[in-house]
A and B are shown apart, each in its own frame.
Chain A
Amino acid sequence: MDQQVYGKPLVYLDNAATTQKPLCVIERERDYYLHENCNIHRGVHYLSQMATEAYEHARQTVARFIDAKESHEIVFTRGTTESLNLLASSLGQLMSPQKILITAMEHHSNLVPWQQMVQRCGGQLLVAPMDDKGVLDLQAYEDLLKQGPQIVAMAHVSNTLGTVNPVKEMIRLAHQYGAITVVDGAQSIAHLPIDVQDLDCDFFVFSGHKMYAPMGIGCLFGKTEWLEKMPPYQFGGEMVDTVSFEKTTFNKLPFKFEAGTPNVGAALGLETAIQFLEHLDRKAVEDHENLLVKTTMEKLSAIVGMHFVGQAPEHSGLVSFIIDGIHPYDLGTIIDKMGVAVRTGHHCAEPVMTRFGIPGTVRTSFALYNTLEEVDVLVKAVTRAANMLR
């Protein structure tokens, strides 16, 4: 974090895209490759057994972290997007759904897989609307549930707006109308405590790299009853039980969904990232991040023509904005040169931009290591860039 860009101290505010990694995480993955590297679940030799144990221990740690009932309810994937594609593919085969309900604030990863799957099944994608502040319209959501969608997929926290959706209530309602529920936790996992049993969601997905873990590892939590019923997503390697030319039987959970050699090193890094978070006072972290969000909004609001995109009262981790007469791309380019890294554009949520009638936003997103001093640098940079661009 001491790095400089263009001769200026780097202020990294693109944490919703990916967080920086703590040294302990980097060292864990390095250690694995230095001392433990081995393919798992196969060899009878010492290293293979060690690596297998470590990998399965990481799975238990994830299960504990999100309070899953069983560790076999945790499937390791490459990340949120793969988890969602796995679900769309497998549930599509299982249920051939005619209606799927999502919200208007979904990331493309929690939209396109469902859209493509429901279209293949000859069905229809329903979209629960939100208001001008970026708050989901719960009444409209419930009305849509009455149309009988088989699956409801929802963002826990919007990656563009920062809105925290009332997922527990949404899940309760969905179950009441007989739908199964998928929660996209990509943007909540680093910021909010997750308890999948308390939420009672059928599926919860997230990426490691947005919560201080390495890239290339993510998780799919699924209730046992569903994972048991679901057909495999990919075939080969780890996921089979017996194979003949006539027939293949599949391995038990969770291995049924883990075809091929997994990213063991990253899974161990994820475990270390979880331990890193668990050693911190999570409430204090949440308070600190909320303070960063609040201060950023307060200070940026002094800039003429400033509009915040996403002003839900329940808000987490990020501030998205546009300034009258200034294209987000121009602003991002200029403040980049001042050492401030933010994301500009549609943030892989084009329908959200269409909803608000804007080409994109500037998004500043925070992690626990960001400081109030960095917020000041950001505000100065945005002010200077806005003056230059007007």
Chain B
Amino acid sequence: MTIKEIQDSIVEDFSMFDDWMDRYAMLIEMGKECPIIDDQYRDEKHLINGCQSRVWLHAELKDGKVYFTADSDAVITKGIIYLLIKVFSGQTPNDILSADLSFLDEIGLKEHLSPTRSNGLVSMVKQMMLYAEAFKSIS
């Protein structure tokens, strides 16, 4: 699936719930499916600096596509990073770099996009883009 198609399906999943509680519950559930980062990468180098919860992110390039793994000590944050992984994993660096992220607004995570928000969503996206940028230059 393309990035756009995956985003549309996530938006559709979230639109089933009107209540924010259910949305958060779904986000938490989704976090459990997150491809967990290998222990060897769970270090300072792979830590994304969000203020309150810790997020580790790793990426690999296989056959021209980027594959992410991650983990977080907070379940909501883990849900959020998994959403991003769902969208970006298995895509080419170019597709990742040109992706539109407005789906995050549509599923009600807009508030998390503020740069001052302490969960570091912006930092997560930025780190994924940096990986894509780095892989683009070697692929």
Contacts and interface: CB of A to CB of B under 8 A. Distances in A.
A337 interface: yes
B119 interface: yes
Interface residues of B, number: 16
B69 to A, nearest CB: 20
A44 interface: no
B16 interface: no
Contacts of A345: 51-52, 118
Interface in A302-342: 327-330, 333-334, 337
A351 interface: no
A360 interface: yes
B53 A329 contact: yes
Contacts of B7: none
A327 B53 contact: yes
Given A329-B74, A329-B118, A345-B52, A337 B20 contact: yes
Interface centre among B24, B52, B77 (most CB of A within 10 A): B52
Nearest to A344: B52
A17 interface: no
B24 A359 contact: no
Interface residue tally of chain A, by bracket? 10 to 19
Contacts of A389: 28, 75
Nearest to A337: B20
A284 interface: no
A359 B28 contact: no
B25 A359 contact: no
B52 A328 contact: yes
A46 interface: no
A388 interface: yes
B24 A329 contact: no
A388 B76 CA distance: 11
A337 B24 contact: yes
A330 B75 contact: yes
A388 B24 CA distance: 9
A330 B20 contact: no
B118 A327 contact: no
B73 interface: yes
A71 B109 CA distance: 51
The 5 closest A-B pairs by CB, nearest first: A327-B74, A329-B52, A329-B74, A329-B53, A345-B52
Interface of B: 20-21, 24-25, 28, 51-54, 73-77, 118-119
Given A330-B75, A359-B73, A389-B28, 12 more contacts: A327-B73, A327-B75, A328-B52, A329-B53, A329-B77, A329-B118, A334-B76, A337-B20, A344-B52, A345-B52, A359-B54, A388-B28
7 contacts: A6-B20, A329-B77, A329-B119, A330-B75, A334-B24, A345-B51, A345-B118
